[in-house]
Structure 1
Amino acid sequence: MSLYLEHFGLREPPFRITPHTDFFFSGANRGPTLDALIYAITQDEGIVKVTGEVGSGKTMLCRMLLERLPANVETLYLANPSLSRQEILGAIADELGVPTDGKATHSLTRALQDALIERYAAGKRVVMLIDEAHAMPAESLEEIRLLSNLESKANKLLQIALFAQPELDERLSANDMRQLRERITQHFNLAPLKQDDVASYIEFRLRAAGYHGPNPFTDAAVKQIANLSEGLSRRINILADKSLLAAYSSGSHQVDSAEIRIAAHDARFTPLRQPAPFKAKQLLLGIVGSGVVALLLLGAFNLGSLSGQPAPAISEKPRPALESATDKPVAKTFPPLRPVASSNAEAPANIRFGQLTRQHFAQYDSWIESAPRQHYFIQLLATEASHTGEIEGFLARAAQVLDPAELRAYRSSLSGNDRVGVIYGDYPTREAAAAAMLALPESIKAAQPFPRQVSRLH
């Protein structure tokens, strides 16, 4: 039991690093991701993958999934990623109550398929959740692919969800992993928390532990925790716990920069991404190379002058005039985005969007043709285009509490990445959009929506 509980009026420790589902934080897109995972698993979506850095909350999400799946879903949880191919089959057999009796691999696979068919006939689904999947041996990953082939005439008999660090993506990019890679139909990523999310996360955990007073963490302390933790929930928990202990030790009820410095010194975190080493040789070569190019260009101009020929002209494209957000629409000056909206064609980069996503792509296409540029909408979600399960699940959930006709999805590469956004409504002013945003259901507010102008989509 933490020493500072009585000092701060806490019922239980608020910042344990072991997953405790009462402390699941649904902000920072965690809640929508959980909903999308449940949707993907219950809608027969094949293999699902969830990736995130060490301490980003993957295991907590996995535990929440175990609690929230419907009663007709039977779960198999594999926490040991180092199991061999045969051991994985044995572990599944144990969970399903299938006797192994020294069966060979093919016989055991057949027995598992029979057990899965029985459950399917009884109206049950079976899902296998594999934690730390990035550490699985290659032969075990291959067995996962083979298990995903077990199916009835129309449905998968075994749903599989992989929870892993980003290293799994690196392994799956190898040529010999392409068969497994193509079996993964839904991709989710747990991004680190931003500073505002860190503040909400800390306060949420304090309240969940029974705290009733004013937030003991100052704004400066929260900012330091966000920077030192790099947004990883486990690191946030460690820093918050140690800083509360430091405040208790000094008899204070407030956590400020001094307590965070003590906690950071004790935690001794290393940066997630080490900076690339400075290479003086490459820099010198780059400078020399740039000098050579400059000399050659100068020589070309001088030769042109000596020969009486005009120097080569440097072409400069005319810059478009800046447009005020309040100006009238200019027809076709900025062509609207054309997201992939076909329900038959496969999207570029082999991304296959779900039916709801394609439907809302089409709704966006119809709307953007006549939407005034000075109008506003509410941005509900923005994520990587490859996170198809997250997008489809979010749309399914949003359509239950919002007007489906006002929901739209678009695809954009303006940021340099292939992304999909989900937006809602059409409002004449920012104030109207902000007022509508305040009236959104709490489940939608958890995704942290914000108003944007239509002109930002062009």
Structure 2
Amino acid sequence: MYLEHYGLSEPPFRITPHTDFFFAGANRGATLEALLYAISHDEGIVKISGEVGSGKTMLCRVLMERLPASVVVIYLANPSLSREDILYALADELGIPPLDNCRPATVMRALQEKLVALYAEGKQVVVLIDEAHAMPVETLEEIRLLSNLESNRHKLLQLVLFGQPELDATLSRPDMRQLRERITHNFRLEPLVQTDIAEYLDFRMRAAGYRGPSVFTPEAIGRIARVSAGLTRRINILADKALLASFANGSHQVGSREIEAAIRDAEFSELPKSSRRPRASHALSWASGGAVVVLFALAVWQYLFRPTEPSVTPQTNATSPDPSQMRLPATPVESGIPGEAVSTTPLLDKLLEESRPWLQSVASDRWFIQLFTAIDANDPTQVESFLANIRNAGLEMGQVRVYRLTSGDKPRYGILYGDYVSRQEAVNVLNTLPSEVKRYRPYPRQALRLKLEGKTMNKD
């Protein structure tokens, strides 16, 4: 109803998970990157927990889109399956012929044979279980048994559990100790704080086509923060109703009056005490579990951007090392001209400059391949190392583009490849990339999503 009033192309605050509206702020983007890394490089069970309406299903859907084509994704949305039913559900999803009236052991054996065949084809099978907190205890025990399916050297099935805090309570029971020990990574989606909510509202509006100044006043944002408890579903409901109230009043701004009308109409139920107030700061959220995201981001960065030069051979005489074998730190080199220094990132600097015209002119409906996004890239020499790696792998550097985003005072670099008319064309090219490049888990992406992502692009 209010779309034309605000110049919107679609509703900005739908409560259904629309992946084009995935908000990467408030550690959501870092959590997604950590999840991708955990699934691709680990062999344990992964758990993501969060309060009702915190964005778990949205994260799950975006994760499904970002996983590479070599991953077979099974999404289970029905948590009330019995332990036998979950076996039949997995067999059906994997295309195993009907096994009605077979014993669970027979179904498990058929599953293992199918998983071994897929593994031989270079496929990885990932099971995403939504609403896992509602699973019967017996079914959770079956999850533990499924995690035992393995070849001689690798797990055949990666399991990811999405659930409310009740899942944590269930897993804390003594009889759940064996399953709890199999969970190698725990992530928690924390509520948004007020500054996050301001960014979130602005992001969703602009993702829906809005091009004007901020619609929500600081007073309105503060009121939303208090009433929503930082939960994205409640934020969406309040923002949608407030926009409608503003439209009815003939205004283009949402203030306290519109928010109060939205609050009265929403009639939210009482939250558990632990969820009534959003986290006081990002530091607190890290202390309560978000720190694992930061550690994972650091691990991804160090793993992917490790130096390509051979390590230095230890010297027999530790007190007198050979100067020719010493590695110097990555600092600017004197150019011979007083006051000037030679850049230590010439390839990065060159690509940043050459990429600007394309980034400014590319049509929103074009597609490309996102090779990698650096998290908190304070050291550009690490990006230089990554670019050298993909160049050495034989990638056509004329198709490589680099952008720089700034969030606050923290820069991030993104590496793109190609320019395609459709997602399928991008996928086709992605499948032909060298294996050395594929290990960085590239994925197809539309230019529109990149334009909406950053506030500042390629600015030094």
TM-score past 0.5 threshold: yes
2:296 is the counterpart of 1:393: yes
Compare relative contact order (CA 8 Å, sep 6+) and give the higher one, 1 or 2.
1
1:441 counterpart SS class: strand
Q: Distance in 1 between matches of 2:40 and 2:4?
A: 44
Contact 2:33/2:297 (8 A) holds in 1? yes
2:161 is the counterpart of 1:258: no
1:440 counterpart SS class: strand
Contact 1:55/1:232 (8 A) holds in 2? yes
Q: Could you tell me how far 1:153 is from its partner in structure 2?
A: 1.2
Matched with 2:39 is 41
Contact 2:285/2:291 (8 A) holds in 1? no
Q: Distance in 2 between matches of 1:86 and 1:220?
A: 53
Structure 2: 5+ residue stretches without partners: 275-281, 308-328, 331-375, 380-405, 415-452, 456-460
Q: Distance in 2 between matches of 1:46 and 1:159?
A: 7
Q: Distance in 2 between matches of 1:92 and 1:176?
A: 25
Matched with 1:117 is 116
Q: Could you tell me how far 1:146 is from its partner in structure 2?
A: 0.3
Residues 49 and 447 (structure 1), Cα distance of their counterparts in 2 relative to 1, 3 Å cut: farther
Q: Distance in 2 between matches of 1:436 and 1:128?
A: 33
Residues 208 and 447 (structure 1), Cα distance of their counterparts in 2 relative to 1, 3 Å cut: closer
Residues 423 and 23 (structure 1), Cα distance of their counterparts in 2 relative to 1, 3 Å cut: closer
Structure 1: 5+ residue stretches without partners: 276-378, 407-421, 426-434, 449-458
User: Which shows bigger deviation, 396-405 or 96-105?
Assistant: 396-405
- TM-score, normalised to structure 2, is 0.64
Q: Distance in 2 between matches of 1:384 and 1:55?
A: 22
Matched with 1:438 is 409
User: Which runs of structure 2 are paired with 1:268-279 in the superposition (5 Å)?
Assistant: 268-274=267-273
User: Which shows bigger deviation, 70-79 or 381-390?
Assistant: 381-390
- TM-score, normalised to structure 1, is 0.65
What RMSD in Å do the two structures reach over aligned CA positions? 3.1
Matched with 2:168 is 169
Q: Distance in 1 between matches of 2:287 and 2:131?
A: 22
Matched with 1:320 is none
Number of aligned residue pairs: give it: 319
Alpha-carbon displacement from aligned partner over 1:276-322 (angstroms, at most 9, x marks no partner): xxxxxxxxxxxxxxxxxxxxxxxxxxxxxxxxxxxxxxxxxxxxxxx
Query: Matched residues, percent identical?
Result: 59
Q: Could you tell me how far 1:103 is from its partner in structure 2?
A: 1.6
Contact 1:381/1:447 (8 A) holds in 2? no
Letter in 2 for 1:399: Q
Matched with 1:58 is 56
2:102 is the counterpart of 1:95: no
Letter in 1 for 2:153: A
Q: Could you tell me how far 1:274 is from its partner in structure 2?
A: 4.3
Q: Could you tell me how far 1:402 is from its partner in structure 2?
A: 7.7
Residues 72 and 81 (structure 1), Cα distance of their counterparts in 2 relative to 1, 3 Å cut: same
2:74 counterpart SS class: strand
Matched with 1:343 is none
1:383 counterpart SS class: helix
2:73 counterpart SS class: strand
Matched with 1:69 is 67
The structure 2 residue matched to 1:78, chosen from 62, 69, 76, is 76
Q: Distance in 2 between matches of 1:267 and 1:157?
A: 46
Q: Could you tell me how far 1:44 is from its partner in structure 2?
A: 2.6
Larger Rg: 1
Letter in 1 for 2:202: E
Matched with 1:181 is 180
Matched with 1:157 is 156
Residues 255 and 439 (structure 1), Cα distance of their counterparts in 2 relative to 1, 3 Å cut: closer
1:214 counterpart SS class: coil
